[in-house]
A and B are shown apart, each in its own frame.
Chain A
Amino acid sequence: MNKKIKILHLEDSAKDSELILAALDSGAIKYEYFLVDSKANFLNILETESIDIILSDYNLPSYNGNMALKVAKEKYPYLPFLFVSGKIGEDAAIDTMLNGATDYVLKDKLVRLVPAIKRAIHEYDLEIKRKKAEAELIISNRELAFQIDEKEKRAAELIIANKEFAFQNDEKEKRAEELILANQELAFQNDEKGKRADELILANKELAFQNNEKEKRAAELIIANKELAFQNDEKEKRAAELIIANKELAFQNDEKEKRAAELIIANKELAFQNDEKEKRANELILANKELVFQNKEKEKRAAELIIADKELVFQTEEKEKRAAELVIADKELVYQTGEKKKRAAELVIADKELVFQTEEKEKRAAELVIADKELVFQNEEKEKRAEELILSDNELVYQIGEKEKGEIANLELEAISESLKLASQYSLSLIEASRDPLVTISPAGKITDMNEALTRITGMTRHELTGTDFLDYFTEPEMAREVYEEVFAKGSVADSPLTIRHKDGKLTDVLFNGSVYKDEKDNVLGVVIVARDVTAQKLLSKYSLSLIEASLDPLITISTEGKITDMNEALVHITGMTRDELTGTDFFDYFTEPEMARDVYLEVFANGSVADSPLTLRHKDGKLTDVLFNGSVYKDDYGNVLGVVIVARDVTEQKRIAGELTEAIVFAELAVGIAEEAKTKAEEATRIAENAVKSKQQFLSNMSHEIRTPMNAIIGFTKVLLKTDFSVRQKEYLQAIKLSGDALIVLINDILDLAKVDAGKMIFEQIPFKMAISLSAMLHLFESKIREKNIVLIKEYDDKIPEVLVGDPVRLHQIILNLMSNAVKFTNKGKIVVSVRLLNEDENHVTIEFSVKDTGIGITDEKIEKIFENFQQASSGTSRLYGGTGLGLAIVKQLVEAQGGTISVKSKIDVGSTFGFVLSFPKTQADAELDLGVMELDPDIKDIRVLVVEDIALNQLLMKTLLDDFGFERDIADNGKIAIEKLKTNSYDVILMDLQMPEMNGFEATDYIRHTMNSNIPIIALTADVTTVDLEKCRFVGMNDYVSKPVDEKILYSKIVGLVKKTVIAKEEIVEVISETIKSKCTDLQYLIHRTKSNPVLMMEMISLYLVQTPPLIDAMKQGMHDQDWKTLYSAVHKMIPSFSIMGIHTDFENMAKKVQEYASTQLQLDGIPEMVLQLESVCSQACEELKEEYTKIKNRK
């Protein structure tokens, strides 16, 4: 206890306080002693000092210890509170202890005080410490609890966190697993991708390749399409041909069936068929008659046309006559119009003169007026002067004194008199100047004064005139006197007409104008007269009058009331009235339509003139004249209408002419109409005729086919029959049948030939043949007939003719045959001379004249014209007497002219006829072909195997028989298909191919054999129909030759032999020869002929154009090549190309030209050009040569 203990003592007694103090001091403690006795102080000290112990008395006056204890315990519960008190009692003490006092000390036992204080402080300290410790413990416990809580929280959180963590780990593991799977997937997919990429690359390569392939295919397709299109065209063509062929086939099948049916009853039906044939022949005759009739119709139409033309010519002449007349009339009119114009011009001049004269008169009048005025003025002046004189006299009297003034006055007078003189001189000069005679006469009638003009007119001098009687100078003095008296009476006179006589006798017409002149006192001093010269005027008027009278047209002047005032002779003439009768009458009366005349007349007044109104004047005797009314008013100087001048022009002549002209025109038009009608009729007729011709041709070709087919059978079998054994009589009958059949065939052939040539389809062969041999072979045929008739045949053959010539021997044969048969037919006695003469020979050609001269019945001149026409014989009876159809000469003519030759005939009745023709043949080096007349079996040629392709059984039989006769082996096929089958298995030397067959026809079969089987076996076509079958078609499919049905065995034999020989021996030679002669011709005019339908005019035009156009092109081509001017070369060759195909030049040359063209344009491969150009040049030149030949041929044909 170092510290001072702060003691608070609550005691009211001081004694007690001292006792305590003593006790404290005895207790050896350091203390700070505070004594309080009141509550306030107690509280105060308690408050202010940090008391360590409180000592308190129990009973205080103002305060009690318990209270203080309470307070202290309230404030400082642990502050020791000690009661120091006397005896209070045990209860009080326990009470205080119960109240919380720390200790109770009795005042009497104060010894215990200090230990009690010590103990109390110690306990207090302990208490405080304990309390502290307790507090601290609580705090720490609290702290701990809190921390435990915290720890628990943390723990809880941790648990949660751990759970979280565990969960997240699970998740992570799951993810990790998934990732692994994903990676595996990815790896797998990449692998896949890689594989795909590889596949894609491959696929792209594949695609590219396929695209290339596709393009190739497409290109191929285009080509294939083009091919296809072409093939389709070809197919269509084939299809069309097939259709035609099929139709033909169907038809043929029908025919075949009919044939088969007929065949069964053939024998019985022969007679019936003969009847039929006769009917047909009759029908043919009818048809021919029809044709003749139609031709006659045509001629009639032509004749009508000629007549119509003549009509037209006549009408045209009429028209021209009318026109000429019109021209003359017009000239008349023109002349009259000219005359009228002249008159009018002259009138105009007269008018002008009149006007001029009037002006002159006016001038004169004006001058006169002026002169009068002057005179008046002069008179006035004179009077003035006189007055002045008087005045001056007065003056003088007045001025006696003034002499000088008087002298001056004298001078003045003189001056005045001078002026007077001047004045009078002036007026005098005026008077003298006037051209008109001015005279002054005294009241007695004597001339007092005159001017120069009067002296001139009268021819007298002034001196002679003055004082004479003025009247003496007039031709009519009495009239002059009257006038003169009138002047004095009236004071003036104007424009009186009189005539002055010259001394020499010349008369002058004048107009008299006069007036009196008076002095100042109005006394008449005399008369001033102006006599105006009007001769000119009168002349003019006389002149006008003569003009008017001369006019042929009536001229009339009428007054404003319509009365005639004047007229000319023409009016008198037209109306038939005299002038006197006419004058003053109504002008309208002389017109047929007075009202219209009045209207016209009014119009004149209204408009001032009228022109060309048509009216009609009536003559007194009734004759009417048509006139045109022309009128115009005439006015005086003041514009007043004085009347109307009318000219009425006679137009009757004109009207008549106009009428005639219209008539003529109408006639001409009518004629033209008729002519046109006739033309249309003619065109119609020609059209009908053409149609008729066409239908005739059609008919003929149809009939030919129909007739030939059975004819073939008849003739063939008849021939065959003849070879077998028969009795003589049977042979005779068969011969008759054969003859008839032959005749029929000849007829058919003739008709067909004619039809062919007509249609321009006749083709002439150009093969080498021996003329002489051919001729003699043919003449041989007639020998028997000639011998029969006892006629002599003489043959004249010119040696100079070359042995081999190029031409068509068959046709020549035909011509000579016809002529010969005519000669033989119409000659009954005498001789027939056949002569062949060489007319002209040049390097390449010979011209030969053939003539057949007989001594037969002759031909009249009229008939010579007609005999060459179809179906014409010299007389209608000829057919009956001599037989024949009349076709022979027509055929001859056509054949000769078609080859470019001419035919002629001379004949005399009962003497004989000579038929001649001229032909030209080209020469050749080649050897002639085997003559077709060879009949004998060639022994070298045997074992020929022949395949016969023919559907009609009858014909098959025929062929079999024929071929057996020849000794050939034969095989039969029914149609093309079977033939091909046979060809495949067997071999043959030659095929005889019919054309019309079912299944596969001749063309198809040949085509197949040639192009599919590629066989060159000779094929001969057998055909019944020679008009429609195109030889070209046969050649085109590859046939070598053709034979027409009915088959001539000789021809057939020779052809077979020939063809077989060709294939066996030396075919190259012959082919070469033939090809040489063929090659020599490079042009082929088939195309051209086809296009122009053989119209010779057009052919010639085309050829000439080619001949004109081509040589310059050839030159240009060569020039271009030479100069290496590729442009020129290109254009030249380009132009040539179309004409190659037109002229039928081989397509090789065309292609060559195209190549040259291409090279020239692209300028590549230039080295190939020269050779090709040379070839083109040669072929073109050759073509030109050949075409020139053709041209002359065609020209000759015309």
Chain B
Amino acid sequence: MNTDKIKLFLVDDDAVFLKLLEIEFLEHGDFEIETYATGELCIENLARKPDVIVLDYYLDGVDRDAINGIDTLDQVKAFNPDIPVVMLSSQDKIDVAINCMHHKAFDYVVKSETAFMRLQKIINTIFEFKTMEKTLNWYMERM
């Protein structure tokens, strides 16, 4: 993990929202943002080692042939299960959220005015968690 900037992938086929997210992230922290409009693009670029992925649930709205959010999530987890993926969507149906959690998403955020703040908090949580994990591993190795 690059200690200076956190590498963040934003995947959404809604260009307006994607841009807005990008703007907000760039303003509010040291992030290195890469945006993709489809799940396939995101997966192709997984080799660039993102620290966090923010993934829209409904990716096959505009282009019917694109893979949707859940499939992308599965592929990301198959590639590297340690990358935390946060799912975004404008729908707040609970079964969709549970489905995402079953597919090992890290969290689920509904698109709204507070979405950005929540995403920030989640990312902070992720890094706290990672730090804790690291410390723990360090101790476990010493025992």
**B13 touching A1135 by the CB < 8 A rule?**
yes
Of A1087, A1091, A1112, A1137, which is within 8 A of B23 by CB? A1091
Assess the B61–A1138 pair: CB atoms within 8 A. no
Q: List, in ascending order, chain A residues with CB within 8 A of B111's CB.
A: 1137-1138
Near B by CB (< 8 A), chain A positions 303-331 give none
Shortest B35–chain A CB gap in Å is: 11
Most buried by B among A1093, A1101, A1135: A1135
Contacts of B61 in A (CB 8 A): 1131-1132, 1134-1135
A1087 to B24, CA, bound (A): 12
- The residue that B17 contacts in the complex, of A1101, A1131, A1139, with Cβ under 8 A, is A1139
Q: Is A1108 located at the chain interface by the 8 A CB criterion?
A: yes
Contact of A1135 with B20 in the complex, beta carbons under 8 Å: no
Q: Are A1102 and B16 in contact (CB under 8 A)?
A: yes
Q: Which residues of B contact A1112 (CB under 8 A)?
A: 62
Enumerate 16 A-B pairs (CB-CB under 8 Å) in ascending A order.
A1087-B113, A1091-B23, A1092-B23, A1101-B19, A1102-B16, A1105-B15, A1109-B14, A1131-B61, A1131-B62, A1134-B61, A1135-B61, A1137-B90, A1138-B111, A1141-B112, A1142-B17, A1157-B91
Given A1131-B61, A1131-B62: A1142 and B112 within 8 A (CB)?
A: no
Q: Which of B15, B23, B58 contacts A1109 (CB 8 A)?
A: B15
Q: Is A1106 an interface residue (CB 8 A)?
A: yes
Interface string of A1116-1136 (1 = CB under 8 A from B): 000000000000000110110
Q: Is A1093 within 8 A of B27, CB to CB? A: yes
B 51-63 to A, binary, CB cutoff 8 A, 1 in contact else 0: 0000000101110
Contact (Cβ within 8 A) A1105 B90: no
Task: Enumerate chain A interface residues (CB-CB to B < 8 A).
Answer: 1087, 1091-1093, 1098, 1101-1102, 1105-1106, 1108-1109, 1112, 1131-1132, 1134-1135, 1137-1139, 1141-1142, 1157
| Residue of B17, B23, B27 touching A1138 (CB-CB under 8 A) | B17
* Interface of chain B: mostly helix, strand, loop or mixed: loop
Kindly identify which residue among B20, B60, B112 contacts A1091, using a CB–CB cutoff of 8 Å.
Answer: B20
Task: Report chain A residues within 8 Å CB of B20.
Answer: 1091, 1102, 1142
Quick one: CB contact mask for B99-143 with A, threshold 8 Å, 1 for yes? Answer: 000000000000111000000000000000000000000000000
Task: Given A1102-B20, A1134-B91, decide whether A1108 and B112 contact each other with a Cβ distance below 8 A.
Answer: no
| Chain A: minimal CB distance from B66 (Å) | 11
Q: Name which residue of chain B comes closest to A1137, CB basis.
A: B90
Bound complex: CA of A1141 vs CA of B113, how far in Å? 8
Known: A1141-B113, A1157-B91. 6 other contacts (CB 8 A): A1102-B20, A1108-B15, A1109-B16, A1135-B13, A1135-B62, A1137-B90
| Complex Cα spacing A1093 to B58, Å | 29
In chain A, what residue has the closest Cβ to B92? A1154
Decide if A1138 touches B113 in the complex (CB within 8 Å). no
Knowing A1087-B113, A1134-B91, say if A1102 contacts B19 (CB, 8 Å): yes
Given A1131-B60, A1131-B61, A1134-B58, decide whether A1105 and B23 contact each other with a Cβ distance below 8 A: no
Q: Which A residues are CB-close (under 8 A) to B24?
A: 1091
Q: Which residue on chain B has the smallest CB distance to residue A233?
A: B114
Q: Provide the bound-state CA to CA distance between A1092 and B27, in Å.
A: 8
Q: B19 touching A1105 by the CB < 8 A rule?
A: yes
CB A1098 to nearest CB in B, in angstroms, measures: 5
CB pair B91–A1105 under 8 Å, yes or no, is no
Contact call A1134/B113, Cβ cutoff below 8 A: no
Closest 3 CB pairs of A and B: A1131-B61, A1138-B17, A1105-B15
CB contacts under 8 Å to A, within B67-95, are: 90-91
Nearest chain A residue, comparing its CB with the CB of B14? A1135
Bound CA–CA A732/B113 (angstroms): 58
Q: Which residue of B lies closest to A1101 (CB)?
A: B19
* Min CB–CB distance A72 → chain B (angstroms): 135
Name A1150's closest neighbour in chain B (CB-CB).
Answer: B90
The residue of chain B having its C-beta at the shortest distance from the C-beta of A1143 within the complex is B16
Chain B residues with Cβ under 8 A from A1142's Cβ?
16-17, 20
CA–CA, A1109 and B13, complex, Å: 10
Minimum distance in angstroms from A1090 CB to a CB of chain B: 10
Chain A's closest residue to B90 (CB) is A1137
Q: A844 CB to closest chain B CB, in angstroms?
A: 26
Chain A hits for B13, CB < 8 A: 1135
CB-CB contacts of B36-66 with A at 8 A, as 1s and 0s? 0000000000000000000000101110000
Residues of A within 8 A of B27 (CB): 1093
A1093 to B24, CA, bound (A): 10
Which B residues touch A1131, using CB under 8 A?
58, 60-62
Task: Tell me the minimal C-beta distance from B87 to chain A in angstroms.
Answer: 14
Q: Mark B1-45, 1 if CB is under 8 A from A, else 0.
A: 000000000000111110110011001000000000000000000
CB of A552, distance to nearest CB on chain B (Å): 52
Set of chain B residues within 8 Å of A1139, measured between Cβ atoms? 14, 16-17
Q: A1091 — which chain B residues lie within 8 A by C-beta?
A: 20, 23-24
Contact of B90 among A1092, A1102, A1134 (CB under 8 A): A1134
On chain A, the residues within 8 Å of B62 by CB distance are 1112, 1131, 1135
Chain A CB within 10 Å — which of B16, B20, B58, B112 has the most? Answer: B16
Q: Which of A1093, A1137, A1157 has the most CB of B within 10 A?
A: A1137
Q: In whole angstroms, how far apart are the Cα atoms of A1157 and B91 in the complex? A: 10
Flag if B90 contacts A1138 (CB, 8 Å): yes
Tell me the bound Cα distance from A1102 to B23 in angstroms.
9
Chain A residue at smallest Cβ distance from B62: A1135
Closest residue of B by beta carbon distance from A1106: B16
Chain B nearest CB: distance from A151 CB in Å?
A: 105
Q: When chains A and B are docked, how far (Å) is the Cα of A1109 from the Cα of B111?
A: 18
Residues of chain B within 8 A (CB-CB) of A1137 are 90, 111
Cα of A1098 to Cα of B22 in the assembled complex, Å: 10
CA distance A548 to B10 in the complex (A): 70
Chain B positions within 8 Å of A1092 at CB level: 23
Chain B residues closer than 8 Å to A1098, beta-carbon distance:
23
| A615 CA / B13 CA spacing, docked (Å) | 68
Cα A56 to Cα B112 with chains together (Å): 167
A204 to chain B, nearest CB (A): 35
B16 surroundings in chain A (CB, below 8 A): 1102, 1105-1106, 1109, 1138-1139, 1142
- Which chain A residue has the least Cβ–Cβ distance from B112? A1141
Please indicate the chain A residues that have their CB under 8 angstroms from the CB of B60 in the complex: 1131
Report the Cα distance A1138→B91, complex, angstroms.
10
A1106–B17 CA distance with the chains assembled, in angstroms? 9
CA distance A448 to B58 in the complex (A): 113
Residue of B nearest to A1136 (CB): B14
**Inter-chain contacts of B14 with A (CB < 8 A):** 1109, 1135, 1138-1139
Q: Say how far B25's CB is from chain A's closest CB, in angstroms.
A: 11
Q: Could you tell me the distance between the alpha carbons of A1132 and B60 in the complex, rounded to whole angstroms? A: 10
Q: For A1135, what are the chain B residues with a Cβ–Cβ distance below 8 Å?
A: 13-14, 58, 61-62
Neighbouring B residues of A1141 by C-beta, 8 Å: 112-113
Which B residues are in CB contact (< 8 Å) with A1087?
113
Q: Please, which residues of chain B bring their CB within 8 A of the CB of A1157?
A: 91
Q: How far is the CB of A1152 from chain B (nearest CB, A)?
A: 14
How far does the Cβ of A1186 sit from chain B's closest Cβ, in whole Å? 15
Query: Complex Cα distance A1092/B23, Å?
Result: 7
**Alpha-carbon separation in the docked complex, A812 to B112 (Å):** 38
Q: How far is the CA of A1098 from the CA of B16 in the complex (A)?
A: 11
A1092 to B116, CA, bound (A): 13
CB distance from A941 to the nearest CB of B (A): 43
Once the chains are docked, how many angstroms separate the CA of A1185 from the CA of B41? 32
Whole-angstrom distance between the alpha carbons of A859 and B111 in the complex?
Answer: 55
Q: Return B78 CB to nearest CB of chain A, in Å.
A: 26
> Bound state CA distance, A1112 and B60, in angstroms?
15
Instruction: State the Cβ distance, B59 to closest chain A Cβ, in Å.
Output: 10
Nearest-Cβ distance from residue A979 to partner chain B, whole angstroms: 33
Query: Please, how many angstroms separate the alpha-carbon atoms of A1102 and B90 in the complex?
Result: 19
CA of A1166 to CA of B43, assembled, Å: 38
Residues of B within 8 A of A1108 (CB): 15
* Nearest CB in chain B to that of A1133: its residue: B61
- The smallest beta-carbon distance between B88 and chain A, in angstroms, is 9
